Amino acid sequence: MFAESASAAPSNEAPRANALLEVEGVTKLFGPLRALDDVSLGVKQGEVLGLVGPNGSGKTTVINVISGLLAPTSGRVLLDGHDVSGKAPFRLARRGINRTFQIPKPFPALTARENLEVAHHGGTLSDGEILELVGLGGRAERLAGELTASDQKRLDLARALVTGPRVLLVDELGAGLSKTELDELAVILRRLVAELGMTMVVVEHLMGFLEQVADRVTVLNAGAVIFSGGLSEALADPAVIKVFIGG
C-alpha cells in the first residue's frame, strides 16, 4: 500500500491550518548543545508525517518533546489548539498522545495480554482485538520475555494502542525487521489510519517503508527543519541530498 506524496512546502514549515498536532518554534537546549532549533511542524487528523534525518539530527528529541519525556526550552506543543507542552507522559496519554520506543521494554515476566492489561486506559478496542491487529493474537499468553525481537516491537505498538491514542508517535519501529516484517507493519499502520482515523508521526531511516506509510515528510538536520513535503521531492532536494550523501 503506497500513500500519495504531498506537494513540497517551504523548508521552514509553519504549523498547518486545522492541524490536530502542532509543534510551534520548539528549541531544546542541553547545556550549550542546541538539540532542536526553532522546529515547527503540524499534522492533520488522519495524516501520517514521516520524520527523517541523519543520526543526531533531532528526530527522537522531537518525539520526546511531543510525548512529554522532555520539556521544550522554548516554543510549545499544541493538541487541538491546547498547549500541552511539558505535560507528563501519562497525562498526555490520557489526552490522546502516545508513542512507541526504538528499544521495546515490556514486562518480561508478564504475558503479552498482561502487558496490555497494565497499560489499558480509555481505548475503545479490547486487548484481544489489539493483539490480533498487530499480529500477536496467537501469542497472547506467551511471556513477553520469550517473544522474538520483532514480536516485542509489535507488543510495544500494542501497548501504545490500548490507550486509544489520537496521535501515535512511532520511533524507528522498523529497525532490524525483515522486508516481509516491514511490509506487514506498514499494512498495520495504514489500517490504523484508515479504520480509526489515527494521526501519526513516524521516525524512520528506511525510505521504502516510509513510502508505504507516510503522506509527506519533514527532514531535520542539526536540529532544524530543512525540508517539508513529499518523499519524492525530498529525495530530489539539493539540501536533503547534501545532508545524506554529501557534496
* pLDDT at site 13: 52
188-201 per-position pLDDT tens digit: 999 999 988 999 99
Confidence grade of residue 1 (pLDDT, cut at 50, 70, 90): very low
Return all residues near 82 (Cβ < 8 A) that are at least 6 apart. Answer: none
* pLDDT at site 10: 39
**Domains with residue ranges and CATH for the chain:** 21-96+165-245 (3.40.50.300)
Q: Give me the percent of the chain exceeding a pLDDT of 90.
A: 79
CA 129 vs CA 48, 123, 133: distances in Å: 23, 11, 6
DSSP letters of 8-45? PB-SSPPPPTT-SEEEEEEEEEETTEEEEEEEEEEE-T
Between 179-196 and 149-161, two packed helices, what is the crossing angle to 10 degrees? 10
Q: For the full predicted model, state whether its pTM sits above 0.85.
A: yes
Residues linked to residue 152 through DSSP beta bridges, in sequence order = none
